[in-house]
Every structure is written in structure tokens, then in C-alpha cells.
Structure 1
């Protein structure tokens, strides 16, 4: 990693008077990753933003403008409510099947919103169904409350994390939806994040990709056999993910691909399929205390031996915060000192003895994932043209506009929608 990059970023943070642990998003690098995504979308795909990996309303809105997409994939009830409230034009596909009580919470909440809310669930929301049992629950709920619910079926294309796997259950689900007056089949979703991780001895990514494609095609043939070829024309045929989206070269069997993490590229996404992407997010942690010749308590002699053998560093620093799902990247060869354990308050990191670092400088860590790490910081500092130019808020579990845990509990207690 270029030292000049982090030197400039440090200067920008100091100029902005930032003095606490901060999640920094490099907007120029984000744009480069979006450009790579658009190159694939131009081959004929629609794009669905994975909101759990991009957990910020301003970030989602920016990417939506850049890609021209209104399609979002949502995974968590409180965040669904925030998105509906703040991006009412969104077309939303749930990225995992939610308990039927979550659906009840949603409709209770939506019913109480003002008439000015433009979001229409029966036109803009697809619930994900993974099993006959859940399909029956949703069908019963829709009938009891006279709702039209759009459903997308999760299909197992090789990852084996749930979803319809055999043709008999899948065909039975199609028949139930076709006969229901309250359910509408709107799509299929086949996630295949396993593909880049298949070892060569099992055929590697190429074989796994071909296998997933074949499985998806079999489900499409079942839809055509059961409902007719015209039924496929308007379905959302979703697949892909950050580590696989670049493998898709034509839209002959799917209509849209989903991706999120690829646009900020946390460390867990250092895979061959994303080698053209660049990391766009870092944690900047202020250095609080420099430590020459770090020691463990009550053991100066043993500490000297540990430094000599490399189990303790020659130089270290206690930082502001710590214990994040992140790996240090700057200064070079920075490592967390494991003998001191983990700390969320003041964590010790070690450096080579010639490292130039001082109090109030920063060490930089690269998140291993974005979905939980981003939300630990409240806001992201936007880095652009050598300066911190803006602050973007992230999703919160508790929110003052009706989607806090207390509000959901109150909604459940009122039970205006029946189970």
C-alpha cells in the first residue's frame, strides 16, 4: 500500500479536526469500483444493491444515482423500515426469509404511516420464501388480512444454505402460489457465494459456476413447465454476489445481479474475481501512547526475551479503541500484540523499530467485512480530493421514526394484523 496515500489521508483527518476512531470512505475509490460494476451491468443485467453490505442511506442513494438502479436487497426488519421511510421509490427484494411475525410487524408499521408515503408493498416489496412451511404461513397471513403479497422463491444452486432444493417441493410451491388469491410469484433468487472458494481438487470456481448455472436453469425449466414460458418474462431472476458478479457475461438465464461489498472491498473480498477492485474503506484510529520496548506485566526479563524472539514488538502504540473486525494495513507491518489480548478501549499494536509514528497520528485498519463494522461508527467520513468533504450516517438498530425495538414491540402488542 502506498505510504503517500495514508500520509495524505492523515493530513486530511488532522485538517478536519478528527480525533476519535473514524470509518473513512474514499469516494474516488468507490467510484472506480462502481465503474467496474457498470461494465458488467452493460452486458444486459439489472442491478440490485445489497443493503446489508452498504449500510447507509446516503451511500445507497449515491450508488443508486451512479448506477441508475432503484432495486435494493434488504435483510433486516428495522433497516427495511428505514429504507421504506427514506427511499420510498425503492424496489425491495428481501435477501433472506423472515419469520412471519416480521411481516406482521411491517404491515402494522406501514398502516400507521401518513398518506404521503408513496411506498406500496403490493407493488414494491418481494418477500423471500425458502420452504413449503413458510409459504403456507405467508399464504395464511395474506388471506387473513386480505393482502396481496409478492413472493420470490429462494432456490438452492449449490451453496446448500437453504431454499428449495428438489423439484417436487418447488413445483408444489408454484402450484400453491398459482392457486392463491393473495400470493403473487415475482421471482427466483439463487445465491452462489460458494463459487470462488471451491478448491481445485473439486473442480474449482469454473466447475462450481457451471454447476450453479445448471441448477438455476433446471428451476427455470420447472417454472416454464408448470406455469408456461410467458410466466418467466416478468420474473425477477436474481443471482450473483460481490465475489461472483464479474463472472456473468450474458443474461441468458438471469435478469439481475446483486452486489454490495465489492464496491467498498473489505479484506474478506480479496478474491481473484475482484482483483480489479480496490479497497475503499478504512478505520482510522488515533495513536494515544507510544511504547518503546513493550513489556508484559511483572516480567521485564521475560519481556526482553519475548522481544528478542519476536513475540513482543520492538516498538508499539496503544490506540484509541480497537477489537474491530479489521486488519492493520498502515504503518507497514503493523500487528496487534496478541500477548496483551484484545481491547475495545486501548488496544496495543506493534511496529518495526524504524517505524516513524507519534501520538495523535493514526494507524489504519481495513475492515474484514462492511455489514457490521460500518455500523459501529455512526457516521462515515467521506474522503475526496484530499479532504474530508462530508459525513454519511449509517443504519441504526434503534431509530426515532418508528422502527426502534420499542416501536416494534408496541406494534406487536396492538396486533392489528392477524397471524
Structure 2
């Protein structure tokens, strides 16, 4: 990323009249990252978009068109409902096990939708189950309401964040599903984000990948031994993640058939890893500069400030920005870092600047988010940047009003405001 890049981005933002902190997605860089993903998918894999990392319906729809997928992964009940409402053709896999009460809330909400609701949970929704106990809870839910549930089993392939081990509990879960007229085994989900982080003295990336694949194969073997040789046909055998998806090649085809990723397409700083060196950062926070300060002083300590500045402990130039305290790192101007004089601020945060940088009020300080899933939701509509201008505004997820807990909480909040 060059100085010219950010100068052009600044010009595009100013021409669009952007005067508040704004999340910007560079569409051309996004497209190049998608192309890298497609190269891997062409080795023989289906693709599931991790919706929490790109929480915007137009953004998801754009990537769905570019990659030819209808598969999404959802991690949050209100956002699952938002996806069902706005992308009813999607096939959705839950990315984490939900309390059975969350599933009950979903079906209550779905039953209240109009007949035009095209989403069929019995065909398009996979609930992730991590234990035999939770499976029994979901089986009881299905029996109470006569629901047909697709069950995807979370398996521990080495991350040790939970899920089934390849033991008798897993076999019992398979038998429970097979014996139920309301439950269907839809697949396995084996998340393996640890692979790219294993240090060399523990065997490194290659050993971790081999171990993960061997464990995954053990699970699929147990399925065939328990349910028959044809039991794997049509199952969703999901794995992968943003830091690991490029590792899957033709040798993995036949073991797994679906890869999940999303953050790699926009590249927050948490994904600056060797496996993604060919990707480019495609998302930035643009924070308007409110004030430029020459020789900033510590309050009540101007003499000490001069001394610290003499030894390079205080800057000669700094600026206060509109907002701050985000999960993000400044990336332009460089070098640039948060000043320690006033500490963190979500209102006007102070950043040290290069002595010779000619920044002015109404310019922007640019940041790279460290993650996308929560940061994307803090700025309102996303500004889409392409060919030197802001071409579109894409809304982010919101909570459906029909979500019972949310609606109830809002009513209580409103009542409290009135009574006060």
C-alpha cells in the first residue's frame, strides 16, 4: 500500500462527502482475493461463506455470485434470522452449537412468517451438534414440535475447542440420528484454525495438517462402519478457515468436500500469515482528522514534555481523530501510532504522526481492522471503493424485530426511559 493509494482513497472519500468514521471496502482488491479463493475451489471443493466475518447482505450476495455458491455459515441467532429473511435461497450451516432454546426461538419466529417465506429449514438449515447430550435435547425439540432437523456433528480434529472425539460417544450419536424419524445426519464440521499457528518445534504447519486430516478420516471411517459404506454420500464434510484454506489440494478431495472462509477476502491484520501472503488488505477504517497538534504536551508538564520530546519520547506532530479505540491498527500515515499522553478514547483519540507529514484537518487517518466480524458492525453502511470513487453503500446486518428476546429487551428499555 503506497502513499499514492491512500491519497487517491482520500480524494474519493472527500468527493463523496464522508465526514464521519467509515468502513471502506476496496472492491478491486476484494475481487483479486476472491480470484485466489476460486483457484483453490477449482481443485474440487464447494465453498461456504462465513457470514459473521462479512456481515452485510449485499456483500455476501456479491461473493455468492462471484463464487457460484449458495452456502453460508452463521454464528448468531438474530443474524441467522436476518439471513433467512434476506437470502432465503441460502443453505445455512450453524458455525457453533446453539442452546436448544435458540433453536426453539428460531422455529417460533419462522412459523410466524408469511407464506411467502421461501426458506425451508428441513432442507436448508443444518444445526451444529457437539455432544450426545445436546443431540438428545434437539431430538426432544423435534419430537415436541414434529420438526425435521438436519444435524451436522462438530468434530475435534485437533483444535480442542470442543466437539466429538472419535469414540463411543460419536458412534452413539450416529446411532441416535439413524434411529430417529425426525433427525437426519447432514455432515461433519471440523474446524482447524490451529494448523497455521503450530510452531516448528511441535512439527509446524505440515505435521498439523497431516494430523488433522488423519483425524478427520478416522471420523468418516466410523460413519461408514456404523451406518454403512454409502453413508457418506451427500454429506457436507466441512473444514477450512481463512488462514488454512489455501492448503487444501487434490489430495484432500475425497476426504472433505467443503471449505469455509471469509476473512481472507478482506484481510484484517489478524490474518497477516504466511498462507495468505498472496492476498491484499481490502478493508480500511477512514477516520476524519479533527485537529493537528504541533509539539503536544503532557497536561501540567510542559517542561517535562520538552525533555521527553528531546529524547524522542513525545512526537513533534500529532492529530486528534473523529472516534477511535477500535480493534484496528493505523496504517497511514506511516509511521503512526496511538499517543500515550491521553490514553484510549472512543471520542477523540490522539495519534502520533511523522514530523514531515502534511496532514490537515478533514484529511483521514486510515486503519486496518484486526478482525472483521465485530468491526464491520460499528460504522453503519459500508462504503464500496472502486475506480477512485465511492460507488455504492452496502448496509450491514441488523437484528430482526421479530426476535423475541430483542423485542422484549427493547420494550423494557423504552418503558424505563418513559418512567425516568
Q: TM over 0.5, yes or no? A: yes
Residue segments in structure 2 that go unaligned for 5+ positions in a row? 412-420
* 1:20-419 → structure 2 map (5 Å cutoff): 20-250=20-250, 251-396=253-398, 398-400=399-401, 405-406=406-407
Using the alignment, how far apart are the partners of 1:19 and 1:111 within structure 2?
Answer: 43
Quick one: distance in 2 between partners of 1:145 and 1:191?
31
SS at match of 1:81: helix
2:73 match: secondary structure: strand
8 Å contact from structure 1 (residues 129, 152) kept in 2 = yes
Deviation of 1:167 after TM superposition, in Å, equals: 1.4
Number of positions where the alignment pairs a residue of Structure 1 with one of Structure 2: 409
Corresponding residue SS for 2:92: strand
Task: Provide the C-alpha distance between the structure 1 equivalents of 2:373 and 2:308, rounded to a whole number of angstroms.
Answer: 37
Give the CA RMSD over aligned residues.
1.3
How many Å apart are 1:305 and its aligned residue?
2.1
CA distance in 1, matches of 2:68, 2:408: 33
SS at match of 2:58: helix
SS in structure 1 at match of 2:231: helix
SS in 2 for 1:47: strand
With normalisation by structure 2, the TM-score equals 0.95
SS in structure 2 of the partner of residue 189 of structure 1: strand
Corresponding residue for 2:12?
Answer: 12
Change (3 A) 1:309 1:19: same
* Structure 1 pair 47–407 and aligned structure 2 pair: CA distance change class (3 A): farther
The answer to whether the Cα contact below 8 Å between 1:40 and 1:246 also exists between their aligned partners in 2 is: yes
CA contact (8 A) 2:333 2:354 kept: no
Provide structure 1 residue ranges, at least 5 long, that are not aligned to the other structure: 411-419
Contact in 1 for aligned 2:289/2:365 (Cα 8 Å): yes
Q: Secondary structure at the match of 1:338?
A: coil
For normalisation by structure 1, the TM-score amounts to 0.96
Return the alpha-carbon distance in structure 1 between the equivalents of residues 359 and 405 of structure 2: 42
2-structure distance, mates of 1:2, 1:343:
28
SS at match of 1:234: coil
Whether the 8 Å contact between 2:320 and 2:351 is mirrored in structure 1 is yes
Whether the 8 Å contact between 2:109 and 2:402 is mirrored in structure 1 is: no
Shift, 1:166, TM fit: 3.7
